[in-house]
Chains A and B, each alone.
Chain A
């Protein structure tokens, strides 16, 4: 067992670990997590990873992620691993996947898009391009995932 795994498994009794976050994306991940301010949160940045080179990691005690939070993190850090810890043991481990359909997670950056003037659930779809891009299903504009803002 690697040092990182020992830390994440042993350090919290119950909660969630998000591992293999691409280095540099931790701030965006923390923005997505609806933290109250009183949780125990441990953050590692630029740690060595056999799998992805450099990685960020976050451990949050006594928190289970909502579906919205999981989908949002999958969008900005699709290579991340989600680990649920129960009583110091790994209860569940899942590799996040970039969802093909993205509903109610992103705000469309196009100010002329109808989703920015009417109360509409935003809908995006991954494009077939090699780079990670999404297309708004309303205004049909295409954006790099790094350009879009996740809803609060």
Chain B
């Protein structure tokens, strides 16, 4: 039997319309807007000013701490201004706006497509290269990657797990990357293995991508220490905790990180970025984005420069359909509803989902009938109905006692609730408040 995680889980309809669509390089836009906060942690500090000329790959904003990431120009041209723009959060945040002139790359970036298998960099050099290249978790969480690779003293990593699960319905970017860049991902995996000093890597792929499983398996045969683990299709298997549980049957204790159980998890897109950074000296300034939706004319997988307006991607996918009711950055389960299509894509943009109006609206909430389905599907073994109630009634000590902070916000509870109760909305509110209380207590 196929492995999967041990508690809860759901199986939302998949709708992978863009599956099998070749990754298409999107034309460079005429202007890009690069938010300085594209990662979890402190925003980067701009080091260019208005009027500066930049090339593709020029460092334009510097990491401001350990949990922060460099930002490089995805285009060549002139810095037009540094100003606040509306980003995916819906708030106005600082961004570097660049007018594009030509497509001139920094020297030193190896633009050839030849596979470079030889890994000459040492562990320290790899971690430095990853930090320099501004690589963050590209599955959507955008956690700076060099932090994960720097194993804290006293801890030991014995296995690297690659997240190729892509359990979000609709999204296909990682799937297509494996089909087209399998060898690069293999070398990237070995680079990370070297950085972490481990000899074992497991690539977890859900069983709804049999071609990717087969392809990666055949490639893995010629790379030492890499195995493929086909997994039962079950959401949210792409969650770090769930993936580690599924692949190696170890459960991370409450409030702890994967390194606690000797594992480091990286998304396959991130691994490709690592390969390019270490072997080709290429910073992270472009990524694969799935643009999809039921009424979209041409669901696609695009390779787009960071900062490209969403509108460009949607136009290339056939234009915004008449019946559009919601535009989601990411997948339907964990993605964010966007306030407009006039925002730039960032390092964490795994997909853009166009949802028809009829599906966009929520149904009115009814009384909880205590069917316990939310409890059954919760992958963290929590009781969402209870967390919603205590959050609604602002009983924060009880919320903490009931482990509200363990919630990974996968949305399985809200998805399942027959009474259409917005369980996760309330739990998020509760998490925010309880987090605040916990932080002030620790001060």
Q: Do A and B bind each other?
A: no
Binding site for A on B (CB under 8 A): none
Binding site for B on A (CB under 8 A): none
